[in-house]
Amino acid sequence: MERPDVGKRGRWAWLDPRFMLAENGEQRTRWFIAVILFVQRASYLIPASIAMASADLHRHSSPTLNGALLAGAWLWQGYLVYRMRRHGWFSYRTVGMDVVLACLLMTVVTSNVQAGFEFTTVNWAPKYALGTAALIGAVLPLRWAVLVEVVPMAWYVLTLSAETQPDQPLLPAVVGHLNSCIFFGAILYFMNRYLAAQAKYLDEQTEARLRAETRQAAERARFETRTRHYRALHDNALATLTAIAMGGLDHRGEQVRKRCAKDAEYVRRLIAADTTNSFTGLGDRLAEVVTDAEALDLRVRYMPDTVPGHLPHHVVEAVADACREALNNVAKHAGTDQAWLTVSWVEDTLSVRVVDRGRGFDPIRTPRGQGLKSSISGRMREIGGSVQVDSMAENGTCVELVWSHVP
């Protein structure tokens, strides 16, 4: 699993709780286990490095070789940190390389230690192997972990048997080391699996709660939307019908017919929007935009498609405001009193088109005004969207607003 974004967050961002919360439960567990593994290894290598700098040089046959081996071990730890930050976890191949390195260190470091110091802190390689045992338990499945764990344990016994004196007691130290290998591997195995299972359960519960809250928020938004629609029907269509019924308006008058046509178009939009379930955030805002455009004596035929209700608020506002400006341009420049507004949602891409059959213009020769550059194109750029303008003299104009959802 590649993690190209970690570096952008800073060198130590993976220790930031806010960054950890952005990960799923399994990955949070892996980061936590990795910290434990790195701290464990550092607890073995730091004392060995201090001892090399302060102890008498006669404890190693070649102090230079011991220093080179320590440097190699530190470099390998640096690679493991890089591997974790880059990929999010350790591969089986990495574990295998660590096992080989641990066996190599136990052989060379033990042979480089002077007689009598094989079981002291001067021989730091067996301690390093405890970190390898923990890594095996944390990464490998149980069956493979048991089999691979035997390799560094058996190698430790063979190395110490070959390097120690015949009269030197071997059993107590070997038993203690093998016991530590087994328990470090077992502890990291069960810790990783238990924490991962708990994290997965918490993620599922959190996701279920968020889905429930989203449904409740959608229901509240739908109720508020319908309430506004009912009020608008009461204040417009119902008021017109009541006035006609009471004889206050002559239904044959030109102004009354225009008012009835406007109210009828509004009712059609409500029916279409309710049928396509598009009156969520964006559908409601576009309906308001159309109503405002009709105040400019512009008849807008609104054709909505199914639009998801979870569009971000800033996207809804930007698209609605850009659409409003596009309709304003139709009213001011197109020389027509009709426009079409269509909405579609295909493959996580939102497309809103404002089309008129007015006088049009030549996009190449006609410089774009402030409204198109700032109010329309500028708003869409701010949300990562785009604008496509197609026009031809005497053949109308199409302004298309496009925004794609990126998971």
pLDDT tens track for 280-311: 578 778 888 888 888 777 888 887 776 666 78
Task: Provide mean pLDDT across the span 233-245.
Answer: 69
Q: What is the mean pLDDT of the chain?
A: 79
Angstrom CA distances, 395 to 135, 324, 329, 355, 362, stand at: 71, 21, 16, 11, 10
Q: Longest Cα pair distance anywhere in the chain, in angstroms?
A: 122
Does residue 227 register a pLDDT over 80? Answer: no
Contacts 24+ apart (CB under 8 A), 44-49: 44/124, 44/127, 44/128, 44/130, 44/131, 45/70, 45/73, 45/74, 45/77, 45/124, 45/128, 47/121, 47/124, 48/121, 48/124, 48/127, 49/74
pLDDT exceeds 90 at position 120: no
* Per-residue CA distances from 360 to 326, 327, 329, 341, 397 (Å): 13, 14, 11, 17, 5
Mean pLDDT of 344-363: 87
CB 288 within 8 A of CB 232: no
- In angstroms, what CA-CA distances link 166 with 50, 122, 175, 347? 31, 20, 17, 75
pLDDT for the residue 161: 72
The percent of residues in the chain predicted with pLDDT above 70, rounded, is 73
- Three-state secondary structure call for residue 336: coil
How many CA atoms lie less than 13 Å away from 166 in the CB half-sphere?
Answer: 0
pLDDT of 49 > 90? The answer is no
The dihedral through the CA atoms of 305, 349, 389, 375 has a sign that is positive
Residue 221, pLDDT > 70, answer no
pLDDT classification of 268: cutoffs 50, 70, 90: low
Question: Is 70 exceeded by the pLDDT of residue 121?
Answer: yes
Round the CA-based radius of gyration of the chain to a whole number and report it: 36
Instruction: State yes or no: pLDDT of 32 exceeds 70.
Output: yes
**Does the predicted model carry a pTM greater than 0.75?**
no
